[in-house]
Amino acid sequence: MAKRVLVSGGAGYIGSHVTVELINAGYDVVVADNMSNCDMTCFEGVKKITGREDIPFCQIDCCDYASVDRLFSDYKIDAVIHFAAFKAVGESVAEPIMYYRNNLVSFLNILEAAKTHGGCNVLFSSSATVYGEAENLPVTEQTPRLPATSPYGNTKQMCEDILRDVVFATKDYDGAAQGPVKGIALRYFNPIGAHPSALIGELPRGVPNNLVPFITQTAIGKRECLSIFGNDYPTEDGTCLRDYIDIVDLAKAHVVAVSRMMDGKMKEGYEIFNIGTGRPVSVAELVNAFEKVNNLKLNYKFAPRRPGDVVAIWADTRLANEELGWKAERSVEETLAAAWAWEKRLAGK
Ligand code: UFG
């Protein structure tokens, strides 16, 4: 019988791409989502791409323990990939209680249910935000985390620590990575793009905070002009440097990480991997690449720096390359073409 993976937040942007890759790899899946930040577009897309109409979907809020517990009773769950969380940095500064409650309680409930039902492999979706403005680049998993600059970032750090502590809880852990809960935190850099089918992709609510959805919405005419935040940074062209990772490549990293856990290949009960390309790309370079690959002109202007932005961050990906046998494969051009195809499909073009 195929092993089953619970994907919490599985109807969202990253969750839907991961669900596709899990099914492609032969796993059974159960998707849980409270639909607070998405509609059924991506889940319907997942069914179309995989040709599977029967993917179990549970509309539950992971902050409700009884619902999570029931899910673990109804399905034999071999691993959880936990995406169910709020993710807007600015909003988290405005609404810290909402962020802490949602992001911490849902994860605690997942962990508690995992333990109660005999143990589980838990993959947590963390972020490069934990590194802050790192002194030495690229960052490795050993690069010290810096104090978070937003409640959102803080929830990522706290959830990493909670997962580590639960894995190594002395009550359960026998010292040989044999505790009931095993954990991997994947630290994503900047996920962008869409599935090549253009059936699933990013669906930001309201005005996008992130660069690529803002670019595609400007190109389609939904936004008048892209503001490039800052062109006076100490980088070659003055704009910030990021490590943009293709969403399908990122999804595949989840499959190899979760297989590593389920196949008993972990070296320690809790492991961390950077998931990026290892390639720094500036905002201006990304905008130019988008124009070139899609053969269009984007309306953009330079604007003041956005508060809270780090100048530059990119990943040292050697650990993921060597230990997971995973490597980002798609070029930034392919990814930007996929992002544009998705935006056009949304607009019915
Ligand atoms: N940017 C613009 N104009 C925009 C939007 C973004 O110039 O309209 C610039 C930003 O200033 C930054 C770059 O594009 O230099 C990337 O910005 P994003 O908002 O797309 O991504 P961030 O790097 O700020 O944040 C992302 C995730 C966060 C995560 C963080 C970790 O969105 O969830 O990476 O580093 F915490």
- What pLDDT, in 10s, does the model give residues 36-86? 988 999 999 999 999 999 999 999 999 999 999 999 999 999 999 999 999
pLDDT digits (tens, 9 = 90+) for 230-270: 999 999 999 999 999 999 999 999 999 999 999 999 999 99
Pair (101, 172) in one structural domain: yes
Pair (297, 284) in one structural domain: yes
Q: What is the average pLDDT across 84-110? A: 96
Tokens 């003041």 correspond to 304
Closest C-alpha residue for ligand 1 atom 15: 240
Among 257, 275, 293, which residue terminates a domain? 275
Pair (65, 177) in one structural domain: yes
Q: Any bridge partners for residue 58, and if so which? A: 32
- In the reported structure, the alpha carbon of residue 211 is separated from the centroid of ligand 1 by a whole-number distance in angstroms of 6
Q: What is the pLDDT of residue 92?
A: 95
Closest C-alpha residue for ligand 1 atom 7: 228
Which stretches of the chain are assigned E, i.e. beta strand?
4-8, 28-32, 57-58, 79-82, 120-127, 181-188, 190-192, 226-229, 241-242, 244-246, 270-275, 281-282, 300-303
- In the reported structure, the alpha carbon of residue 89 is separated from the centroid of ligand 1 by a whole-number distance in angstroms of 10
Cβ neighbours for 231, distance < 8 A, ≥ 6 positions apart: 237, 238, 239, 284, 302
Q: What is the average pLDDT across 314-327? A: 98
Whether residue 192 has pLDDT greater than 70 = yes
Q: What is the pLDDT of residue 179?
A: 72
Q: Which of 175-189, 213-227, 230-244 has the lowest mean pLDDT?
A: 175-189
Q: What is the pLDDT of residue 170?
A: 72
- In the reported structure, the alpha carbon of residue 62 is separated from the centroid of ligand 1 by a whole-number distance in angstroms of 27
Whether 206 is covered by a domain: the verdict is no
Tokens 């230990």 correspond to 323
> Which residue did the predictor score with more confidence, 180 or 326?
326
Whether 176 is covered by a domain: the verdict is yes
Q: What is the pLDDT of residue 337?
A: 98
Phi, psi of 107 (to 5 degrees): -70, -40
- In the set 131, 152, 233, 270, the catalytic residue is 152
Which stretches of 128-251 are assigned E, i.e. beta strand?
181-188, 190-192, 226-229, 241-242, 244-246
**What percent of the chain has pLDDT above 90?**
94
Q: What is the pLDDT of residue 349?
A: 84
Q: What is the average pLDDT across 205-232? A: 97
Pair (187, 310) in one structural domain: no
Cβ(80)–Cβ(120) below 8 Å: yes
Pair (94, 231) in one structural domain: no
- Residue 292, Cβ neighbours under 10 Å: how many? 11
Helix axes 283-294, 211-220, angle to 10 degrees: 40
Whether 197 is covered by a domain: the verdict is no
Whether residue 107 has pLDDT greater than 90 = yes
Q: What is the pLDDT of residue 26?
A: 98
Average pLDDT of the chain, as a whole number: 96
- Ligand 1 neighbours, Cβ below 6 Å, are 87, 89, 127-129, 190, 209-211, 214, 226-229, 240, 242, 283, 306, 309, 313
> How sure is the predictor about 176, in pLDDT bands with cuts at 50, 70 and 90?
low
pTM for this one? Answer: 0.97
Q: What is the average pLDDT across 153-180? A: 83
Pair (186, 142) in one structural domain: yes
Number of structural domains the chain divides into? 2
Tokens 């099914």 correspond to 23
Q: How far apart are CA 277 and CA 261, in angstroms?
A: 23
Q: What is the pLDDT of residue 174?
A: 60
Q: How far apart are CA 335 and CA 331, in angstroms?
A: 6
Domain hosting 16: range is 4-192+244-275
Whether 90 is covered by a domain: the verdict is yes
Burial (CB < 10 A; 0-12, 13-18, 19+), residue 332, is buried
Q: How far apart are CA 195 and CA 103, in angstroms?
A: 27
Q: What is the pLDDT of residue 175?
A: 57
Please give the DSSP secondary-structure letter assigned to residue 311.
S
